[in-house]
Structure 1
Amino acid sequence: MNIWQVLGIAPTRDEAEIRRAYAQQLKTHRPDRDPTGYQQLREAFDAAKQQARGGATPIQIETPPQPQTSADEATLPTAKTFYTAEEMQALAHRLVNTEMSGIVAMNRLWAKVASQGSLLQQQQFHQHLAAALSEEQGLTEGLLERVSGLLTWGIDEYDYSHIIPAPIQHTIQQRLRETEINRAWQQMSNEETHGTLLTKAAVRLLKSDRDHVPFWVRLMPGLLQALVSQAQHLTSYYPEIAERLNPAMLTFMRQRRLTLSWQGIFLLVFWGLAFNALFQLPDVHHAVSITAIVIVVFYLYLSDILMMGLSNRPRWLSCFLFVEFMLSLIVIQLFFGGLFFAAVIAIPPSGHGAMALVSLLAILVLCIMFWAAWPKGVPLIRAPGIIMSRILSSPWKMMEWMNFAWFSAIWAILYFAICVIVLSELLKLFK
């Protein structure tokens, strides 16, 4: 039998085809089940690669003759057996579940095989143990690395198939991946029990079998963000786990939805208190204040609502974006231009003194604010509206930047006082 008959292909110099044939035949002649066939296959594979590179004449693989036995012939001695398949599987189970005692038992058995067994029996020990580990649920990468270090498997090397065959390596990797997925799911269950209120609700919804999303999901501030965070973490690292999650919830999170958020509630209270303070000032006209309130509500809430409602009507959406663009240009001019004018007229004629310094500082802050609020990488038609939205949501962004620490409340109060003073000076110009 020549090498091509062993590989099951026609003579060729294509190494890729030779490798594919070798991998295909390896499924039948596994080293842990058919060591003789595996040895012939390996020799044929090496010879085929050598012939493909050097053009040597085909090499004949001699098949060892099978001994003929009869009743009159003496029975040949069998190789010494150091363990049974059941004992090897029990050792693998012990390693996975009680690692320390399993390591001791493994070292004891390996010492016996290494001192009394042949090279073939030693090779079979590695393969049998690896195959048994691949069948154990809960196999971890840490345990595998420790076993590999003790038995010098070299799993961190590029190719260690001379010790552990490729099919067994593939099965081990599948088992390790299964362990990681099960651990992630168990961690998710732990958060359902010991997590925060939002985390518990998010996990229960993702694990539920509901065919629709309950209405209270939109009314619970922060719940949608918790849902998205949980789902993104799981599906980005463990895509296989997406099949266990509620499909209705996944579909709900992929679409833009109107929900209550802590940001929206905080900004509503912040600007509500600010305009309430402005209404108490005698120099501020009520009609001007009401107009300012409408502008704030539009950029914080109504703009997104209208764009979401018109998302399925491109023509109406285009008209709305144009109107918003023109309106935003006017609002920006009135806002920054009015504050700039107020800062300039506050400078005394001499150009010196504390008031002049404060006015110059205010002009510098206005320039920095406009530069920081300018959006990057968005269409020009959206830029003015985004600028105003960022300026009006800056109180929340400031606290978010401070990670909602206790001192962020102090800064929020100071920022509130500054906003009231600035708005009062601005609105007085339109009296």
Structure 2
Amino acid sequence: MTIWQVLGIPPTGDEAEIRRAYAQQLKTHRPDKDPGGYQQLREAFDAAKQQAGSGATPVHLDIRHPSSAPAVEVALPEAKTFYTAEEMQALAHKLVNTEMVGIVAMNGLCIKIASQGSLLQQQQFHQHLAAALSEEQGLTEGLLDRVSGLLGWGIEEYDYSYIIPGPIQYAIQQRLRETEINRAWLQMATEEAHGSLLSKTAIRLLKSDYQQVPFWVRLTPGLPQALLNQAQRFTSYYPEIAERLNPVMLEFLRLKRLMLSWQGIFLLVFWGMAFNSLSRQPDIHHAASITAIVIVIFYLYLSDVLMMGLSGRPRWLSGFFFLDFLLSLAVIQLFFGGIFFAAVVSIPPSGHGPMALVSLLAILVLGIVFWAAWPKDVPFIRKPGITISRIFSSPWKLLEWMSFSWFSAIWTLLYFTLCVAVLSELLKLFK
């Protein structure tokens, strides 16, 4: 193809016409859309200007009879090659694996191309380097930011496609995401080797090839929760990791099931010891004590079991919520009303003395407990039931609040004594 065919005009010595043809063809062969066509157009433009400036008479073709005059072939100058594809990939490998060595080599090559190459060659260098980096495993955002800052890519800008084309940008982002996922997977492997016993077991189960969940998973206190925590921790930020985890375990975590927990065991022991202490007091009616035990068991264990069992039957579940609402209102009235009545009765007629102060303090604490236990962002029909459940779960919440430290045992013992004393005064009212 001749230079005039590239420019789309007949041979001419008019530089103005050559420039107009170049500007017209440039709309079709933009450097960011068609680098090869742009390079050919630019070289044809330079050659046509050089011929027009030398004063040589251009050969005119007969447009009506093209075959009557031979076409004048003008060889386009070949662009100098500063690197091969293998050398560019090796440079990207150095940047990712030995960053400082790679940066030194990159700067040297960039300076060489800037001083000896054309604008097109400089642009191609940036694009080729970006494409090579997108193929390197282990590419990080930190390295990409440093390379961008040194070469002026401006990746922090909204659109930098005038330097790096969109497909290469997408490939780079995919490589960065792959690096983050592999790091998260390595972090799981590290915790599997050096974490706590529960954490190790949970990660091994998530990475296992079990076809069904082992029976002992449900019977190990804290293990189901550890499984859930580990799965949510990684898949919430890296959903792609879910493809590497055991689907049976993930499906097991999606459904609510009855499982042992340290909270359930602790509360069973705590309230069991409390009612055992109350059973030894002769002035507490046996029936009242049994009723209190049933109420505690219902709100700590049976309520959740019934809701899980009725989850597939909306009408039955609505009926349960209504009955639970009425029962919870009655329990709140008996519990808080009874304690309030006992505190008021214990105040001496004079209204003074240590007993009056203790009673007033008890009433204040009672109001604070009720306010703290009352849920805020749930339907009103569930608020009474959740309030009672929170009160009966408060011993475990006290341990959690103190981060299970050694002195939490002292406060738990004091809280146990307080609960026994309150229940004792409350149950004496029903003898």
TM-score when normalising by structure 1: 0.81
Asked if 1:181 is matched to 2:151, the reply is: no
Q: What are the superposed Cα offsets for residues 399-425 of structure 1, whole Å, 9 maximum, x if unpaired?
A: 212222332222111111111111111
Relative to structure 1, the CA distance from residue 68 to residue 252 in structure 2 (aligned partners, 3 Å threshold; closer, same or farther) is: farther
Report the AA paired with residue 261 of structure 2.
S
> Could you tell me whether the CA contact under 8 Å between 1:342 and 1:426 is conserved in 2?
yes
**Secondary structure of the residue that 1:218 maps to in structure 2?**
helix
- Structure 1, residues 79-133: CA drift from partner, whole Å, max 9, x if none? 3222111001011011111112111211222222222222222211111111110
Cα contact 2:39–2:120 (8 A) shared by 1: no
- Partner amino acid, structure 2, of 1:99: E
Partner of 1:299: 299
The percent identity for this pair of structures is: 75
Which residue of the partner structure matches residue 112 of structure 2? 112
Unaligned runs of 5+ in 1: 2-24, 40-66
Does residue 1:359 correspond to 2:352, yes or no? Answer: no
The reply on whether 1:160 has 2:176 as its aligned counterpart is no
The CA distance in 2 between the partners of 1:425 and 1:86, in whole Å, is 86
CA distance in 2, matches of 1:130, 1:373: 58
Deviation at 1:35, TM superposition (A): 4.9
Displacement of 1:426 in angstroms is 1.0
- CA distance in structure 2 between the aligned counterparts of 1:248 and 1:223, rounded to whole angstroms: 16
Q: Distance in 2 between matches of 1:408 and 1:163?
A: 61
- In structure 1, the partner of 2:140 is 140
> How many Å separate the matches in 2 of 1:103 and 1:221?
53
TM-score normalised according to structure 2 size? 0.81
Change (3 A) 1:352 1:122: same
Residue in structure 1 matched with residue 395 of structure 2 by the alignment: 395
Q: Distance in 2 between matches of 1:384 and 1:328?
A: 5
What is residue 21 of structure 1 aligned with on the other side? none
Q: Contact conserved, 2:220 with 2:260, CA < 8 A, in 1?
A: yes
Partners of 2:126 and 2:134 in 1: how far apart?
A: 12
* Farther off after superposition, 115-124 or 349-358: 115-124
Matched AA of 1:389: S
- Describe the superposition over 1:5-36 as per-residue Cα deviations: whole angstroms up to 9, x where unpaired: xxxxxxxxxxxxxxxxxxxx99x9564x6654
How many residues end up aligned between the 2 structures? 377
Separation (CA, whole Å) in 2 of partners of 1:180 and 1:38: 43
CA distance in 2, matches of 1:156, 1:38: 32
Q: Could you tell me whether the CA contact under 8 Å between 1:134 and 1:168 is conserved in 2?
A: yes
| Root-mean-square deviation (Å) | 2.5
Give the conservation status (yes or no) of the 8 Å contact 1:29–1:37. Answer: no
Deviations 1:297-346 (A, max 9, x none): 11101111122122223343333333322222222111111101110111
Structure 2 Cα separation of the partners of residues 234 and 37 of structure 1:
51
Match of 2:227 in 1: 227
Unaligned runs of 5+ in 2: 6-28, 43-70
* 1:12-161 to 2 correspondences below 5 Å: 31=35, 35-36=38-39, 78-161=78-161
Distance 1:153 1:353 in 2: 80
Deviations 1:361-407 (A, max 9, x none): 11111112122222223233322221111110011112212222332
